[in-house]
């Protein structure tokens, strides 16, 4: 019995020993914990760096490689919002009804003015040896090109617009990130045999790839100074004028509002390459959307194109050769004169505001036209009116008339309110934002902040001469 008890006790003891878990070495536990913590902190740190350190272009490249990182992008605080409403402390003594009944003192010119541009400082236009294949077989000798020659010149007298017309010989360029301006002007110039790429244009137009906007005036300067071709920009275009230009062989680039699927409202450029009255459509080369079936251009209804175009006061750029200047002047008619162009744009915008008094774009366009006419009191009121009707929050990335109008009527607080809002929603990459902030600071006697603002503008675009001149004026060098 006793032996039995001893054996049982031994077995029990052995069982107790076997049932205890074997503990891993302490160093292994700490190693696993350390790896886990490093992973957590590394992932968190990576997200923080991605959101707060990388510039937008760098973020986009990361998203292109790792699409899931898009979920960690910082959402712009302005997204989905509108421009700040006007500060209601200013009174010009005018009413919105006054704006709709302004008497313009400038008469319709009796003589069509000649377009003048500065001669180019550098000619880089390639000789006419393009081997690009036309997008379609030409049906109209007026606008056709061969694969070895630049486009045929228009006749001395502009031709009436036929029911259909197309331009051929463009080389399509798909934009790189944030590069629609350089890409589109490159496409437009390719019609004349231009061989440089969008990177060449971008090096002149936006030395900082983050620059959110290239203005029509900058595009025109690039063409006139770098290509050997000529360009002008005007506002207040019409669909009929657009057809006339295309039919007579002139490439046209439009400034438009753009909201592709999955994006908020953006400013954009689009090259028009043809139209068809029977179908009621225009054809366009779009650096973001493509060049359409068989390269004939994406298809846009007349109404769709005009609705996008009106969001930029129907601004357009025409490309032409120096020897075509007289012919283009005749074709443009009153639009050849910049002042008359602004008056015509004003009339279009006022008519749209009469039809729909809640049309923010119409009121904004009234303001832009009045700024071009140097009628700043009235322009300020128009911009005030426009800001009550939910204009896109990115509006001030592209159009700077409110700064000009408010500054010239000494509404410096309004200028600073708009520039501050812009700086908080991506406008820190728009040199004009810093420039107008600096101008307002100078007016208020805040010279140190003005110097900082002008330097910020020049850091984005060293070619921005207005900022350099303003800085030189207050520093003396």
CATH of residue 313: 3.90.70.10
Per mean pLDDT, which range of 107-116, 197-206, 285-294, 420-429 is the poorest? 107-116
Residue 311 belongs to a domain = yes
219 CA to centre of own chain = 12
pLDDT band at 354 (very low <50, low <70, confident <90, very high): very high
- Determine how many CB atoms are found less than 10 A away from the CB of residue 350: 20
Residue 22 belongs to a domain = no
Three-class SS of residue 93? Answer: coil
- Evaluated on CA atoms 203, 204, 208, 213, the torsion sign reads negative
Specify whether 181 is located in the same domain as 299: yes
- Strand 252-258 vs strand 281-285: parallel, antiparallel, or unpaired? unpaired
- DSSP-assigned beta bridge partners for residue 313: none
- Determine how many CB atoms are found less than 10 A away from the CB of residue 119: 9
* pLDDT tens column, 403-443: 999 999 999 999 999 999 999 888 899 999 999 999 999 99
- DSSP-assigned beta bridge partners for residue 268: 256
Give the structural domain span for 62.
Answer: 41-74
* pLDDT tens column, 309-340: 999 999 999 999 999 999 999 999 999 999 99
Specify whether 199 is located in the same domain as 69: no
Specify whether 68 is located in the same domain as 202: no
Residue 295 belongs to a domain = yes
- CA dihedral 241→215→270→256, nearest 10 degrees, is -80
- Determine how many CB atoms are found less than 10 A away from the CB of residue 414: 25
Q: What is the H or E stretch that residue 282 is in?
A: strand 281-285
* pLDDT tens column, 21-43: 555 567 876 777 677 767 766 65
* pLDDT tens column, 127-177: 232 333 333 332 232 233 322 233 333 344 566 789 999 999 999 999 998
Using the 3D structure, point to which of 307, 336, 365 is the last residue of a domain. Answer: 336
Is residue 405 a contact partner of residue 427, using CB atoms and an 8 Å limit? no
Structure pTM? Answer: 0.77
Using the 3D structure, point to which of 336, 355, 388 is the last residue of a domain. Answer: 336
Of 310, 386, 372, 382, nearest in space to 337 by CA: 372
- DSSP-assigned beta bridge partners for residue 2: none
- DSSP-assigned beta bridge partners for residue 47: none
Of 411, 393, 474, nearest in space to 438 by CA: 474
Residue 452 belongs to a domain = no
Alpha helices in 159-260 (DSSP H): 180-190, 198-205, 216-226, 239-247
pLDDT of residue 201: 97
Residue 220 to residues 243, 324, 369, 395, 475, Cα–Cα distance (Å): 21, 16, 19, 21, 30
Residue 320 belongs to a domain = yes
C-alpha to C-alpha distance for 442 and 440, rounded to whole angstroms: 5
Specify whether 69 is located in the same domain as 210: no
Residue 394 belongs to a domain = no
Residue 109 is classified by DSSP as P
- Strand 298-301 vs strand 316-320: parallel, antiparallel, or unpaired? unpaired
Cα-trace Rg, the chain = 30
In sequence order, the 6+-apart residues with CB closer than 8 A to the CB of 196 are: 124, 186, 189
Residue 381 belongs to a domain = no
Using the 3D structure, point to which of 281, 311, 336 is the last residue of a domain. Answer: 336
Structural domain total, the chain: 2
pLDDT band at 264 (very low <50, low <70, confident <90, very high): confident
Q: Is the pLDDT of residue 19 over 60?
A: no
Residue 458 belongs to a domain = no
Q: What is the H or E stretch that residue 257 is in?
A: strand 252-258
């Amino acid at each position: 019995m006793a032996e039995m008890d001893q054996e049982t006790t031994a077995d029990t003891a052995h069982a107790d020993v076997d049932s205890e878990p074997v503990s891993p070495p302490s160093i292994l536990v700490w190693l696993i914990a350390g790896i886990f913590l490093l992973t957590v902190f590394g992932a968190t740190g990576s997200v923080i760096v991605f959101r707060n350190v990388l510039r937008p272009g760098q973020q986009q490249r990361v998203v292109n490689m790792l699409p899931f990182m898009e979920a960690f992008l910082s959402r712009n605080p302005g997204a989905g919002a509108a421009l700040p409403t006007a500060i209601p402390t200013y009174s010009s003594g005018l009413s919105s009804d006054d704006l709709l009944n302004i008497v313009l003192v400038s008469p319709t010119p009796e003589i069509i003015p000649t377009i003048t541009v500065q001669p180019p400082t550098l000619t880089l236009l390639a000789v006419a040896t393009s081997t690009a294949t036309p997008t379609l077989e030409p049906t109209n000798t007026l606008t056709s090109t061969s694969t070895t020659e630049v486009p045929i010149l228009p006749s001395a007298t502009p031709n009436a617009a036929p029911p259909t017309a197309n331009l051929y010989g463009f080389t399509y360029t798909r934009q790189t990130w944030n590069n629609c301006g350089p890409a589109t002007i490159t496409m437009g110039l390719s019609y004349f045999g231009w061989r440089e790429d969008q990177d060449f244009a971008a090096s002149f137009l936006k030395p900082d790839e983050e620059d959110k906007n290239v203005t029509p005036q900058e595009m025109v300067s690039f063409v006139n100074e770098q290509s050997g071709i000529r360009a002008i920009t005007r506002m207040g275009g019409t669909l009929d004028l657009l057809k006339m230009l295309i039919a007579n062989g002139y490439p046209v680039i439009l400034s438009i509002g753009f909201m592709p699927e999955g994006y908020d409202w953006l400013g954009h450029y689009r090259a028009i390459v043809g139209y068809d009255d029977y179908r009621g459509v225009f054809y366009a080369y779009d650096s973001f959307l493509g060049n359409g079936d068989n390269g004939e251009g994406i298809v846009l209804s007349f109404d769709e194109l005009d609705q996008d175009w009106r969001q930029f006061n129907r601004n357009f750029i025409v490309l032409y050769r120096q020897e075509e200047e007289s012919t283009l002047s005749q074709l443009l008619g009153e639009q050849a004169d910049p002042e008359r162009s602004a008056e015509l744009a004003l009339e279009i915008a006022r008519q749209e505001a009469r039809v729909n008094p809640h049309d923010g774009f119409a009121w904004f366009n009234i303001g832009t036209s009045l700024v071009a006419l140097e009628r700043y009191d009235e322009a300020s009121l128009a911009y005030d009116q426009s800001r009550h009707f939910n204009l896109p929050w990115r509006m001030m990335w592209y159009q700077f008339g409110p700064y000009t109008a408010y500054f010239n009527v000494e509404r410096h607080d309004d200028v600073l309110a708009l520039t501050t809002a812009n700086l908080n929603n991506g406008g820190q990459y728009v040199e004009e934002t810093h420039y107008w902030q600096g101008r307002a600071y100078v007016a208020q006697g805040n010279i140190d902040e003005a110097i900082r603002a002008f330097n910020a503008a020049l850091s984005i675009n060293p070619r921005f001469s207005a900022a350099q001149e303003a800085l030189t004026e207050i520093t003396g060098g």
